[in-house]
Copies of this chain bind each other. A is one copy, B any other.
Amino acid sequence: MLSSRKRQSSDDRLDAVFQALSDRTRRALLARLARRPARITALAKPFAMSLPAVSRHVRVLERAGLVARAVDGRVHQCSLTAEPLATAEAWLHYYRPFWAGRLEALARFAETTEADVSR
């Protein structure tokens, strides 16, 4: 791979972000960091997971640009950097008409059926 992290293509970024989000533990870690920054040790606690296992998940989130880590001696403080999610949302936004249309049609169908029944 020639591309450095600084020169990621939009495809690289989307691959990394969606990959990072494809694991429920990593999504739970983001939810935790959305409340406030935390140390790796504090992050590991509610997950009944070893410190190295949580560290691996945090590294995946870091590579996707979703977590920033500030190192002070042995203390690693993690915080949420949510901006890359904007790219993911923009990607999904393009497909909105495809599912929104279908869901609205279903809702209209349900309403009409209900109206028919109540007549």
Shortest beta-carbon distance, A26 to chain B, in Å?
Answer: 9
6 contacts between A and B (CB under 8 A): A18-B21, A30-B95, A34-B95, A34-B98, A80-B98, A82-B95
Q: Which of A17-33 contact B (CB under 8 A)?
A: 18-19, 21-24, 27, 30
Which residues on B sit within 8 Å (CB–CB) of A85?
92, 95-96, 98-99
Size category of the binding interface on chain A: 20 to 34
* Copies of this polypeptide in the complex: 2
User: Does chain B have a CB within 8 A of A88?
Assistant: yes
Which residues on B sit within 8 Å (CB–CB) of A14?
21-22, 24, 27
User: Does chain B have a CB within 8 A of A91?
Assistant: yes
Shortest beta-carbon distance, A70 to chain B, in Å?
Answer: 17
Which residues on B sit within 8 Å (CB–CB) of A99?
82-86
- Residues 48-90 of A, flagged 1 when their CB comes within 8 A of B and 0 if not, give 0000000000000000000000000000000010111110110
